[in-house]
Amino acid sequence: MIGRLNHVAIVVPDLDAAAALYRDTLGAKVSAPQPLEDHGVTTVFVDLGNTRIELLHPLGDDSPIGRFLERHPDGGMHHVCYEVDDILAARDQLQAQGGRVLGDGEPRTGAHGKPVLFLHPKDFCGTLVEIEQV
């Protein structure tokens, strides 16, 4: 069902410092910061050729990653995103096997303008999983 690893998301306390770390210390190709108000995050994309790293920083007061940063003040890995061909078919198959989908179960538009869903970390080895239809 799942295809390629689309991205790994890392929450960071200082987006400029994290972008500089990936650009200057690790020598990666790094985008400009992109504020995504609908998602309550500002992102920097790190292009690794075969996949991406998404650096995430809270935007606004009720950011979904605000609490994560409170619990992990140094930042940390937040989720992995796998590609799927058909997000509704993937959701139905996962739910039929007991996998819990977060929110109301309906896909929303993710950071790349494609439909996404998040799966409960307790059902997936303690890791928050995003699936994205590509």
User: Minimal distance in Å, beta carbon 61 to Co ion?
Assistant: 21
The two beta strands, 129-133 and 52-58, are unpaired
Per CB under 5 A, contacts with Co ion among 85-104 are none
Please confirm, yes or no, whether 130 is among the known catalytic residues. Answer: yes
131 is a site residue for Co ion (CB under 5 A):
no
Ramachandran bin of 105, using left for φ above 0, alpha for ψ from -120 to 50, beta for the remaining angles? left
9 is a site residue for Co ion (CB under 5 A):
yes
81 is a site residue for Co ion (CB under 5 A):
yes
Residue among 46, 53, 130, 131 that touches Co ion (CB under 5 A): 130
d(CA 120, CA 133): 18
Part in contact with Co ion (CB under 5 A); list of ranges 4-12, 15-23, 60-68, 84-92: 4-12
User: Minimal distance in Å, beta carbon 8 to Co ion?
Assistant: 8
Asked if 67 contacts 56 with a C-beta cutoff of 8 angstroms, the reply is no
Work out the angle at residue 79's Cα, subtended by the Cα atoms of residues 14 and 9, and round it to the nearest 5 degrees. Answer: 40
Catalytic residue list: 130
